[in-house]
Structure 1
Amino acid sequence: MYQASVPVIKKMLTNLSAILGKGKAYAQAKGFDGVNLVQSRLIADMFALGVQIQIATDMSKGGLARLAGIEPPKFENDETTIPQLQARIAKTIEFMDSIRAEQIDGCEAREIKFAIRDNQFEFTGQAYLLEWVLPNVFFHITTAYNLLRQNGVDIGKRDFLG
């Protein structure tokens, strides 16, 4: 369970930080404020790039904490710049690095229960990782990638995969 979660998510967050760096460089080269990228959306009813990254990091730290049976750190969700979002990713990775394999391995049958607004969720540890955490992390990282790409940042599949 550890090998299927922590290294995979850590790599994707590292790649996300790198493509954000390319977004910052792109904005500087084109002479506009990177905040425009942070606030960009694919469509009006979707979250902006900054929120996509906040959700990807929240899902990463929260999901892994639930699997490990520990409390995740709380972040303020107040990032407005690319460097702030990169710092958030770095804090998430730092937290992930504190989780030991023995905290997660063997949690396949652990009951995971939580609520989001009025919705109640129940999973086993394995289903939670494979059906909830990983798909959500990948969705929000992919959406962040797509937002940067849509705005002209020169990134491709190799950047996404690392």
Structure 2
Amino acid sequence: MSAVLSMYEISVPVFLRALRNLRHALEKGEAHARAQGYESTVLLQSRLYPDMLPLVRQVQIATDTAKFGAARLAGVESPRFEDVETTFDELYARLEAVAAYLGTFDDAALAGSETRAVTLSARARGDLNFDGRGYLLGFVLPNLFFHAATAHAILRHNGVPLGKLDYLGPAD
């Protein structure tokens, strides 16, 4: 007999872990910059390629993905952030604010969300329509992991001593 995971179990705890691991990578990046003797905020504007978004935007998008993901699944409005962070401390505060917001959700808040209709407006593609399960598994989780992995790669590309276990984080 297999256990059935709830929408909550496959969303909010996963979001929190990804954001916790992202913070860990940022902390290592900030410490590495200081140890190497350069301004740590230089990393925040680093990117893998000129047409890609910088580290600060990767973090902003990862946090937005998590908070909007939980809110849309629960059928509630998410808080909005202005995307004005320019320091590591401001990014840490953003990560903490999103973690606190995610902490307001529980199994009951996401009960039945697998069939909830979710529509996103995408500039380049028009409206994207999902049911809750498709939204979580096919949009939110891949998007969150893409931006967290890209942030990790930007830091690693800039010499921060990060490995796969930093990305995966400790076993829960």
Shorter-chain TM-score bucket reads over 0.9
Match of 1:96 in 2: 102
Is 2:168 the partner of 1:142?
no
- CA offsets 1:78-106 (integer angstroms, 9 cap, x no match): 00111111111111111000112111122
Q: 1:127 is matched with which residue: 121, 124, 134?
A: 134
Query: Number of aligned pairs?
Result: 162
Please give the secondary structure, in 2, of the residue aligned with 1:108: helix
- CA offsets 1:47-67 (integer angstroms, 9 cap, x no match): 000000000000110111000
Q: 2:14 is matched with which residue: 1, 8, 15?
A: 8
Moved over 4 A (4+): none
Task: Provide the C-alpha distance between the structure 2 equivalents of 1:82 and 1:116, rounded to a whole number of angstroms.
Answer: 29
TM-score (norm 1): 0.98
**Paired AA for residue 73 in structure 2:** L
Judge which range, 110-119 or 60-69, deviates more: 110-119
Match of 2:68 in 1: 62
Please give the secondary structure, in 1, of the residue aligned with 2:114: coil
Task: Provide the C-alpha distance between the structure 1 equivalents of 2:141 and 2:88, rounded to a whole number of angstroms.
Answer: 24
**Paired AA for residue 14 in structure 2:** V
Task: Provide the C-alpha distance between the structure 2 equivalents of 1:16 and 1:114, rounded to a whole number of angstroms.
Answer: 25
Please give the secondary structure, in 2, of the residue aligned with 1:152: coil
Task: Provide the C-alpha distance between the structure 2 equivalents of 1:108 and 1:99, rounded to a whole number of angstroms.
Answer: 15
Structure 1: tracts of 5 or more residues without a match: none
Map 1:26-65 → 2, pairs under 5 A:
26-65=32-71
Please give the secondary structure, in 1, of the residue aligned with 2:115: coil
Task: Give the alignment's Cα RMSD to 1 decimal.
Answer: 0.8
Is 2:162 the partner of 1:155?
yes
Shift in Å at residue 151 of structure 1?
0.3
Match of 1:105 in 2: 111
TM-score (norm 2): 0.92
Q: What percentage of residue pairs aligned between the two structures are identical?
A: 46
Task: Provide the C-alpha distance between the structure 2 equivalents of 1:105 and 1:22, rounded to a whole number of angstroms.
Answer: 37
Task: Provide the C-alpha distance between the structure 2 equivalents of 1:47 and 1:103, rounded to a whole number of angstroms.
Answer: 33
Please give the secondary structure, in 1, of the residue aligned with 2:153: helix
Structure 2: tracts of 5 or more residues without a match: 1-6
